[in-house]
Amino acid sequence: MSFAIQLRHRAVGSTSRPATPQPDRRPSPTPVRGRPPTWAWLVAAVFMLGWFLVTGVIGSGGGRALTYSAFLSDVDKHEVASVAVGSAGQLVGTLASGKEFTVQAPPWALTTDDLAAKLEAAGVHVSAFSQSNTLGQLAVSLLPVVVFVGFFWWISRSARRSLGSGAGGLGSLFRSKARVTDAERPATRFGDVAGYEGVKQEVREVVDFLQHPARYRLAGAQGPRGLLLVGPPGTGKTLVARAVAGEASVPFFAVTGSSFVEVFVGLGASRVRDLFAEARGNAPAIVFIDEIDAMGARRALPGTGANDEREQTLNQLLAEMDGFTGDGSIVVIAATNRPEALDPALLRPGRFDRQVQVPLPNRADRQRILAVHARGKRMAADVSLSRMARASAGFSGADLANLVNEAALRAARADREELTAADFDEALDRLVLGRRDEGNALLPQERRAVAVHESGHALVAALAPTADPVSRITILPNGMALGATHQLPEDDRRLYAESYLRDSLAIRVAGRAAELLVLGEGSTGAADDLAGATQLAARMVREYGLSPALGPVAYPLPSGTFLDGTATDRPYAEATQRRVDREVARLLREAEERATELLVGHRTALDALAARLLDEETLDGSVVYDVLVHADAALQVPDDRR
C-alpha cells in the first residue's frame, strides 16, 4: 500500500499520426486453370483407400458368423458340407442347407489334429485359401507416404498462394520475413515525430546520404553503414526509423530480430542473405531490424551453452554489414533496449558506425507529444497540457498516448465529448496507482488513518525547502494504494543534491510519523513508503558516496541500461554489507526524526488538513499551503509553491 507517490516513471517517445494506407503493388498470383479442386483429389484418395482396404483386407464374401463352439456342434451333427481354412485362422464354409458361414478359429485350434480329425470323421470337404492381397497390403504400406507427401503438397500450395508467385514449397521457409514499405508514397516524416530535435539531427545525415550519394563520393567520404537506436521501451525508435525512410523516399525493409532465430541450423543465416539480396535489388534502401539483441547478443564460448543457430545468424549479419560486398547504398538501422547485451563485433565502426540515444522525453517534448495525441479531441478550458507534461515526468511517448486515451475513455463513459482536467487527473492516477474500485470502501477508522497519513506526507513536502511542490492529495483508493500525495516537479531533474535526497527521505517516512504522532501507533499503510525510503537510502550509501562511514566509494549493482532489474549478487563482502545496513538505518532514523519535528511544530495544520481530507476526500495542492498559512501566520510560503 503506497500513500506518498512522487511522479517519476520509467518511460518516453515520439508520436505519429496514422500512416496512410497504401495500395498493394505486389504482383497477383497467376491462377492455376484446368486442375480439379483440392476437395476432388481428397475424395478420390479416400475412396480408393477405402476400396483397397475393403477388398484387400476383408477379402472374402459375407455369410452368417458363427462362434467356434457352434461350428464344432454343427460338425458333430453332420450339418457342415464344406469348409475352407484361411491363413489367419478364418474358416469360411457352407452348411448342408446351402447357407454360407464364417468362423474365426482360435490360434490353438489349428495347431492340433483334433479339428482335422473331427472334420474328416464328419465327412466335411476341407480346402484352404490365402487372405493376402497385394493391392491391399500395398495401400496400407503406402498410406504414411501418401499422407506425408499430401501434407507438403498442401504447404507448397499455401506458400505459393501467400507469396504470390516464385518461391513455393520448402523454399518459403528460408525466405526473409521482412515487410517492404512502398517507397513512392512514404507515410512518415520527421514532422510526425514530436520533439526529439537532437535525435532527428543525428539521423538526418543518413537521409542526406541516401538522397545525394554523389556529393559524399566526390569528397571521398563514406556514408554510415549502420545506425543503432538505443533507449527505453516506448520512446519511438521504430517511428524514427520509418521517418528516415519516409524522408529519404527509399524502400524500407522492416524485420524483427527474433524472426531470424529458428530451430533449424542455417535457416536464420539464409534469411539474412535473402533479406540483404532483396535490399540490394531495390538499392538504395534501408533495412530496419527491431530488437536486434534477439539475434545480436554476445557470442558464448564453446561448451558454455552456445547456440549454433543464433551465432551462425549473427555471423552472417556481420559478413553482410562488413564490406565484402562493397555496396554502401544499403543502410542498416537497428533498435534495442539492451545495448550492453550486443556483441562487440556489431558495434565496431564499419558496421554500426554510430549509436543514437533516444531518451525519455523532457518536459518540452512531453508537451509536444501530448499536443499531437490531443489532436481531434475537444479539450475543456481547464485542461493544461503544460501542467500534464510536468506531472508526467518519466513517461515515454507510448505512456503519454495511453494517458490521453485513458482520459478520453473516462469522458466517453460519462457521455461527454469534452475532456476535462479531472479526466486527465483520474487517468494519471489510473496509470500510476491502478484502477479505482468504487466498491472498495474504507472503514471509518481506516479513512481517518489514511487522512492523517497523507496529511503528514503533504505537510512535510510543503515545509521541506528543496522538495517539489504538492499538487494534489486524495484518500480515494486506487489499485493497491489507499491514498496518494502527488508532487509536481517544476522541471525535469538530472542532478540530485544531497539535501534534495534527504528531504525525499523525510517526505517518505512522514506518513508513518504522522500516524505515530496523532494515532499513537503505526499501521501497515507505511509498508510501501518504507520500502521506497530504504531503497533510496541504500543507493545514497552504496552508490552515491553520501555516507561518512563508507567514504567516497561506490558499489553499484549491475543492471540493464534501459530496463529494470538488478543483479542479486552484491559486489562486496559481508562486513561491508553490515556497514551499509547500519548507515541505511541511520539515514532513515534521522529522516523520521526530522519529519516528526516538523509535524510537532505544525500540529494544528496537521489536524486541520486531515479534517478537510475526511470531508472532501481530494484536495488541490494549494489547500495545503493555505492551511499552513492560516495555522501559522508567521509562516511565509512562496507564491510559486502554492
- The residues carrying an active-site annotation are 454
- Quick one: cell of 331? 543502410
Residue 226 Rama label (left phi>0; alpha psi -120 to 50; beta): beta
Identify which of 420, 357, 364 has the alpha carbon closest to the alpha carbon of residue 392: 364
The sign of the torsion formed by the CA atoms of 227, 233, 239, 242 equals positive
Q: What angle do CA 115, 119, 121 make, to 5 degrees?
A: 115
Q: How far, in Å, CA of 247 to CA of 76, rounded?
A: 101
Q: How far, in Å, CA of 236 to CA of 497, rounded?
A: 31
- Quick one: cell of 279? 535490399
Identify which of 379, 383, 318 has the alpha carbon closest to the alpha carbon of residue 344: 318
Q: How far, in Å, CA of 461 to CA of 458, rounded?
A: 5
Q: How far, in Å, CA of 271 to CA of 268, rounded?
A: 5
Q: How far, in Å, CA of 425 to CA of 412, rounded?
A: 15
284 preceded by cis ω (within 30°)?
yes
- Quick one: cell of 214? 554523389
Instruction: Let me know how long the chain is.
Output: 642
What are the DSSP calls for 11-66, one per residue?
------PPPPP----SPPPPPP-S---HHHHHHHHHHHHHHHIIIIII-S---EEE
- Quick one: cell of 127? 480346402
**How far from chain centre, in Å, is Cα 419?**
30
Q: How far, in Å, CA of 363 to CA of 7, rounded?
A: 13
Q: How far, in Å, CA of 160 to CA of 168, rounded?
A: 5
Q: How far, in Å, CA of 160 to CA of 304, rounded?
A: 41
Residues with Cβ within 8 Å of 173's Cβ and at least 6 positions away in sequence, in order, are: 264, 267
Cα→Cα distances 566→251, 563, 584, Å: 40, 9, 19
For residue 27, how many C-alpha atoms fall within 13 Å in the half-sphere facing its CB? 7
